[in-house]
Structure 1
Amino acid sequence: MNRTEIMQKADDVIKDQKLREMFKKCFMSTLETSLKVEGDKTYIITGDINAMWLRDSSCQVNHYLKLMKDDQDLQNKIKGLIRSQIEYVLLDPYANAFLNTEDVPREYHDTTIMKPYVWERKFELDSLCYPVKLAYQYYKETNDTTIFDKQYLYFIHTILDVFETEQYHSQKSSYTFERDMAKVWNLRKTETLQNHGHGFDTRYTGMVWSAFRPSDDACALNYNIPGNMFCSVILSYLVEIVRDLYHDERLVERIIDLKFQIDYGIELFGTYLHPKYGKIYAYETDGYGNHILMDDANVPSLLSLPYLEYCHEDDPIYQNTRRFILSEDNPYYYAGKKAKGIGSPHTWENYIWPIALTMQALTSTNQQEIQTLIDMIVNNTGDTGYCHESFDVNDDSQYTRPWFCWANSLFAELIMKVYF
């Protein structure tokens, strides 16, 4: 099935006109508004910020992957995106977002090692995981192994070096990040790392340290649990890639050992016995016995664990965690007159994210819950027919980021799963 056939099928299977029109707009959003081909490379901006995030760009094309077999042009574009991501990671594996020009004027100054083509150097564990996920999915859908060349092998070694260094961040890492808060009046304190850009001390756990969350907010405790779970999943992908395509058993053993350490750390340090919900996953920990109990709208999140293939939907710890994070015991769960769901410290109080609503539906096995969430998203676009970053639970005309392609793509993915 190609893009044209998707549009035609939508006319047949989606009877609700408002939903059908929104699906079509969201489905095409990345291709029509955010994608630029430069030679054999593809550059995809996140939307109203003219930069390419490793995370966002991967998620923005996820709903196109199953169409590649019948759409060579689409396959070439996604292959070009993989090439771009690999080159960017090799340029700076600690950066999360990049430019397709050497630099642009910016309103703030970051104290870190900034290179040309780097837009932002917030080290986020998931930013190194998403390119692996995209390349693996591309390979599985197309059987095209040409992306796994010598450069990709160098990429694998590069990210493994970072993961292993950041297991011992306080002892071995030279990474620091500070944003000059004095120059931009509306910056949040979560835009910078404490302790002169080093973050607070952590104890070795086996997990990988992260400076920032998928929301681009600084971690409060620097072992982000859903980020490490995602890392565990993509290490499984790398085992398969290295064993089957590079035939390097020493490298396979290195990856398996790292995955074992991360998994052990998650089990030993990443769970919490809640008096109300039982054993749940924490959102963050420091290895010293401190935990952050919450969930954030951005993926990887605790809500998204089955979607990321870390666990099954009926896993008892996940179900306990899900009940917690979809309640007002989660400090970023908001309920109002028009909607209820998970928000983020990245946005204002009482603002929830369509990404989280969509992810709640994608990880639900309850058809009534799924339909309720679809209706909630469709009826809270501020009359634009697009998803936004977040909106007020009492007034959807109040929203952040009018052009945010990741949210549109994820919603299109949900509708394809439900209707196609």
Structure 2
Amino acid sequence: MFDLSGYRLRQLDETRGYKPLDFGGNGIAGSISWDGRIIAVNAYHAEHGYMTLTSAPPFPDEQRYDPNAVREYRRSLANMSGYGLEFKFPIVAHEAYLIEDAVPYIRLMLKGGITAECITLVTVEEPVGLMQIWKFSEAGVFAKLSGKMWLQRAAYTQLTEGGVISMPSIKTSVRSEENGYLQEIRNDALGASVHIRTSPLREAEDGSVEFYEDTIHTRRLDDETLPHGSQTYVFNLGIDRNSFQSRARYMNLTTTSNTKNLYDSLDRWKRRWNIWKTPDEELELIARRALAYGLMCCVPIDSEAVCIITDHMLLPLSWNRDAYYVAMALLRWNYEARDKVRGHLIWMFERAERVDRAWGRAYTVRGKVKDKGFQLDQQIFPLLELANYVLKTEDEEIFERLKEHILPTLDMLLARRANRDTWLFATEETPADDPIALPYHFSSHVLLWRTLRQLGKIYRREDFEALAARIYRTIEEHFITEHNGGKIYAYATDGKGNHHLYHDANDVPLALMPQWGFVPADNPVWRNTIDFAWSQENVGGVYAGGLGSVHTRAPWPLGDAQELIIARILHDEARYNHAKQRLNGAAQWDGALPEAYNAEDYSVVSRHWFAWTNAMVYYFDDMDIKTPPRFGDGG
């Protein structure tokens, strides 16, 4: 019924791990269930960060420090029934596709031979909003609207809660316009409004609004696009902070041809892939997911600045670390994606709140510090992203604009040393957001060394190379320790001869040391550390042969991605194929990699949505892996 002959269609394998299918763009993102019902539609909120029209009940504030309750709530979001069309006849067959690896397309066969098709997307240009189009092979009444909705702030459910931001009232109300066909859903405490054309809604006692009539109101597309006797239902939704803006978004959508909105959006996604190189055909779905979802996680907050969130469903917050890897993947894609990275640099350096010049652990989309814990690598990633962006794009304008932040940031780090004679930099937490056993973290120091060298290439200051040399000597002096008759790099040290031996899936710089030129690939200390990291001696870090984390005790795809990098550096084909097999096993049916998985059946243990992992696989598998000479004392 839909004419999709000019587009790439990828049929999804229903035997792989199921999760809701995602859609998004221009700061609006959401997910649908296997039968096309909407799980959530989410958008930027200038005060509260992220708002959502969701089928998920609110998460209780009193449970935020209960990791088991957090895990259960996050797991439930992958199995919500959603709101939207409920069919009057049983579904007897189902197919799911991605159009251009980004737009969900559902085909259902109902009992009696009726076919239903659904495309759900966010329009790529003004008017921006949600558009869901259903087509039926026959005319008639085959469905009703059902389900509950809460218009609320995003839940922000964290395993390591860094400070609760109290949830505004979840009381959702409804007001009818245009003889009852246009509904405004409101949350006055939040300051949010949604307009949709639908059957009447009513307010429920639990703070939600719900559908309660059996009929749906159909609307035809341009007649020439429909076979004779078919029927179409269009679900347009405008979401914004106030009634005027959400109504304007909705009206703009409905006064523009639905056919034009649909195919303009599909054409944009098609053009985005014109500049595309498959790094490894067996990783193609994972790689394409990295870029499509990375773009969906880019949230413009004004005409210049773009926040990159870690996901749109579970934790629509921003970590500099996670966002860096998404940004680096986008930077290698196309010019539109590069502009998002430019906007993200502006967001980090000019919009994100800092305390005493230090970035926080996590941020709301508006740039307000969510968690204040000091993490060393969170201070470094913005500098590295700036350097890499300028080296890739030669964008001197953004460098001139942002370079004033470089030296104050480095001065802030230097001021946090225990004394002027040491080049050890303390951190309060690990890159997994967990407490650290000893104050000085190994991979963050390697990251700082790399960043100083990259900054030296754009800033053209000799002292950056000298600083890098000091960091190098400090690492060699303080982080190397004895283990089983050999030497390895410790995970952390106190600088007084005590070391903590461990390696974590979140600690990527260890895997990249030869690629960055810190050591050659045959360096015995590095090789011993890699051997330890993937052994049972790495207590709390290895699960069923895969690298994981004490943060979530299971194998992590981030660990498999590290092994992919290491295998390429070592030219170890068997190890590369093994890591690739694990990644493909862990990938869900749309290519999304979770935070952690069960090694026996690859089921998701933690986080069905996690932008960082896919981005890291694409970015590093697309790199020209080299093993440059050892850095040495002089650089």
Name which of 178, 188, 206 aligns with 2:423: 206
What is the aligned partner in structure 1 of residue 382 from structure 2?
Answer: 131
1:403-414 to structure 2, matched below 5 A, reads: 403-414=609-620
Cα distance between partner residues in 1 of 2:502 and 2:475: 16
Name which of 323, 326, 332 aligns with 1:60: 326
Name which of 546, 549, 552 aligns with 1:344: 549
Cα distance between partner residues in 2 of 1:72 and 1:28: 14
Paired residue type of 1:26: A
Cα distance between partner residues in 2 of 1:232 and 1:416: 23
TM-superposition CA deviations, 1:119-154 (whole Å, max 9, x none): 1112111112111221111112111111122x5233
Q: How far did 1:335 drift?
A: 4.3
Q: How far did 1:239 drift?
A: 2.4
Cα distance between partner residues in 1 of 2:280 and 2:471: 43
Q: In the alignment, is residue 357 of structure 1 matched against residue 560 of structure 2?
A: yes
What is the aligned partner in structure 2 of residue 332 from structure 1?
Answer: 540
Q: In the alignment, is residue 29 of structure 1 matched against residue 293 of structure 2?
A: yes
TM-superposition CA deviations, 1:192-230 (whole Å, max 9, x none): xxxxxxxxxxxx642111111111112110110111111
What is the aligned partner in structure 2 of residue 281 from structure 1?
Answer: 489
Q: How far did 1:96 drift?
A: 2.5
Paired residue type of 1:101: R
Q: Which runs of 5+ in 2 are unaligned?
A: 1-270, 626-635
3-state SS in 2 of match to 1:209? coil
Q: How far did 1:33 drift?
A: 4.2
Cα distance between partner residues in 1 of 2:558 and 2:378: 17
Q: In the alignment, is residue 98 of structure 1 matched against residue 363 of structure 2?
A: yes
3-state SS in 1 of match to 2:306? strand
TM-superposition CA deviations, 1:163-201 (whole Å, max 9, x none): 212211xx79xxxxxxxxxxxxxxxxxxxxxxxxxxxxx
Q: In the alignment, is residue 394 of structure 1 matched against residue 597 of structure 2?
A: no
Q: In the alignment, is residue 216 of structure 1 matched against residue 485 of structure 2?
A: no
Paired residue type of 1:265: T
Q: How far did 1:377 drift?
A: 0.9
What is the aligned partner in structure 2 of residue 272 from structure 1?
Answer: 481
Paired residue type of 1:294: Y
What is the aligned partner in structure 1 of residue 80 from structure 2?
Answer: none
Greater strand share, 1 or 2? 2
Cα distance between partner residues in 2 of 1:316 and 1:37: 48
TM-superposition CA deviations, 1:94-124 (whole Å, max 9, x none): 412222337xxxxxxxxxxxxxx11111211
Alpha-carbon distance change, 330 to 101 in structure 1, aligned in 2, over 3 angstroms: same
Name which of 283, 292, 295 aligns with 2:503: 295
Q: How far did 1:391 drift?
A: 1.3
Q: Percent identity?
A: 25
Q: How far did 1:397 drift?
A: 1.5
Alpha-carbon distance change, 240 to 297 in structure 1, aligned in 2, over 3 angstroms: same
Cα distance between partner residues in 2 of 1:29 and 1:96: 23
2:424–2:474 CA contact under 8 A, matched in 1:
yes
Cα distance between partner residues in 2 of 1:272 and 1:297: 21
Q: In the alignment, is residue 225 of structure 1 matched against residue 442 of structure 2?
A: yes
Alpha-carbon distance change, 38 to 333 in structure 1, aligned in 2, over 3 angstroms: same
What is the aligned partner in structure 2 of residue 109 from structure 1?
Answer: none
Q: How far did 1:232 drift?
A: 1.1
Cα distance between partner residues in 2 of 1:4 and 1:404: 22
Cα distance between partner residues in 2 of 1:325 and 1:265: 22
What is the aligned partner in structure 1 of residue 591 from structure 2?
Answer: 385
Normalising to structure 2: TM-score of the pair? 0.51
Q: How far did 1:368 drift?
A: 2.0
2:488–2:528 CA contact under 8 A, matched in 1:
yes
TM-superposition CA deviations, 1:286-335 (whole Å, max 9, x none): 01211001101103453343355533333222111111111111113434
- Is 153-162 or 319-328 further displaced after alignment? 153-162
- Give the number of the structure with larger relative contact order, counting CA–CA contacts within 8 Å between residues 6 or more apart: 1
Paired residue type of 2:579: L
Aligned-residue RMSD, C-alpha: 2.7
1:59-208 to structure 2, matched below 5 A, reads: 59-67=325-333, 71-88=334-351, 91-92=354-355, 93-101=358-366, 117-149=368-400, 152-168=402-418, 205-208=422-425
Normalising to structure 1: TM-score of the pair? 0.76
Alpha-carbon distance change, 233 to 418 in structure 1, aligned in 2, over 3 angstroms: closer
Cα distance between partner residues in 1 of 2:296 and 2:480: 43
1:307–1:363 CA contact under 8 A, matched in 2:
no
Alpha-carbon distance change, 137 to 211 in structure 1, aligned in 2, over 3 angstroms: same
1:381–1:397 CA contact under 8 A, matched in 2:
no
3-state SS in 2 of match to 1:314? coil
Q: How far did 1:261 drift?
A: 3.4
1:383–1:397 CA contact under 8 A, matched in 2:
no
Q: Which runs of 5+ in 1 are unaligned?
A: 103-116, 173-203, 244-248
2:426–2:441 CA contact under 8 A, matched in 1:
yes
1:303–1:325 CA contact under 8 A, matched in 2:
no
Name which of 434, 453, 459 aligns with 1:236: 453
1:88–1:98 CA contact under 8 A, matched in 2:
no
3-state SS in 1 of match to 2:511? coil
2:391–2:458 CA contact under 8 A, matched in 1:
no
Cα distance between partner residues in 2 of 1:164 and 1:123: 14
Greater helix share, 1 or 2? 1
2:290–2:618 CA contact under 8 A, matched in 1:
yes
Q: In the alignment, is residue 259 of structure 1 matched against residue 468 of structure 2?
A: yes
- Is 46-55 or 381-390 further displaced after alignment? 381-390
Alpha-carbon distance change, 159 to 328 in structure 1, aligned in 2, over 3 angstroms: same
